[in-house]
Amino acid sequence: MHEILIISGKGGTGKTSLTAAFARLARRPIICDLDVDAPDLHLLLNPKPQQTEMFWSGREARILQENCDACGDCFQRCQFGAIKKSGQRFWVDPLRCEGCGVCKHFCPVGAIAFEQKLCGEWYRSHTDLGPMVHAQLGPAQENSGRMVTLLREQAKRLADMERFDLILSDGPPGIGCPVISSLANVTLAIVVTEPTPSGRHDLERVAELCRHFKVPAGIVVNKWDLNPAQTAKIEALAPQQKLQRFGRINFDPAFTDAMVQRQSIGAYQPRGLGKQVAALWDRILAAALKAHQPEAVR
């Protein structure tokens, strides 16, 4: 089983559009949206949920008013300003509570409950292109790295049960905890970048992350023709960063038009950009097959 992950050093590079296009070209993929903080792959693939599960993670304090003697100990100890006071009544602001448990530990009358909190939902869905595993965290909720790990486990379990040989994942942007959770032990990472100084800088950071986890990676330069000079600099940088060069994609408003129509670029424009993306996918798939071989066979 291969696991191909599409990531980017920053948001807005076009990785979700490319993931949807690759899903249409792949044979029997399990599609996974790992950008749990701001998922949008569902807008293009129109998944129909078949299973919905609650995601419980972390803990949150709650003051039991019937037991509280309004001593104010928790108010004094909370370093995050989560304990609020109204007259002689104390209560917890859930948006500020970090779940550290200090208030519960020191409460002299045991008036603070420390409960597991509901952070969001995850789904197993059907799409016309294959099964999809995705999620949505609630507003201001954390533990996105843990949610990403859960989704990857569910995708692998589904692949084993139904004998799928490819997991195609739309990863989170940046280099933070959810990216680390999505990157570990994948077959191949595709880094989508743009021809700008900031795009090059963010590419260097995510390339370092790939090297740290020993994940083979390559780049796709989106909108390359908007700045050919920067594109050349990025592609010259690739060998130094141990990145394969998979190709370029022209700037074209058709990508936006396809999103408005809730279609992948390959379905919206089979020729032109769709053909360009198909050639790109062939190179990526060949690289994934090579990366999957045992070291002794290469």
* Chain segment 24-35, per-residue pLDDT in tens: 999 889 999 999
Please tell me the predicted confidence (pLDDT) of residue 159.
94
**What are the tens digits of pLDDT across the range 77-112?**
999 999 999 988 999 998 889 889 999 999 999 999
Across 266-283, average pLDDT: 86
- CA–CA gap between residue 155 and residue 22 (Å, rounded): 17
Contact (Cβ atoms closer than 8 angstroms) between residue 57 and residue 119:
yes
Please tell me the predicted confidence (pLDDT) of residue 298.
36
Report angle CA 153, 159, 160 to the nearest 5 degrees: 90
Residue 189: phi, psi to the nearest 5? -110, 135
Contact (Cβ atoms closer than 8 angstroms) between residue 234 and residue 200:
yes
- Quote the pTM value: 0.86
Domains of the chain with bracketed CATH = 2-46+128-292 (3.40.50.300), 56-118 (3.30.70.20)
**What are the tens digits of pLDDT across the range 14-72?**
999 999 999 999 988 999 999 998 899 999 999 999 999 999 888 899 999 999 999 99
User: What pairs with residue 114 in β-bridges?
Assistant: 61
**Is the pLDDT reported for residue 192 higher than 80?**
yes
- CA–CA gap between residue 279 and residue 167 (Å, rounded): 20
Q: Token pair for residue 157?
A: 């379990």
What is the SS3 assignment for 295? coil
Percent of the chain whose pLDDT exceeds 70: 97
As a whole number of angstroms, the longest Cα–Cα distance in the chain is 73
Q: Token pair for residue 91?
A: 């209560």
Confidence of residue 297 (pLDDT cuts 50, 70, 90): very low
58: left (phi over 0), alpha (psi -120 to 50) or beta: left
> Residue 143 gets which letter from DSSP?
-
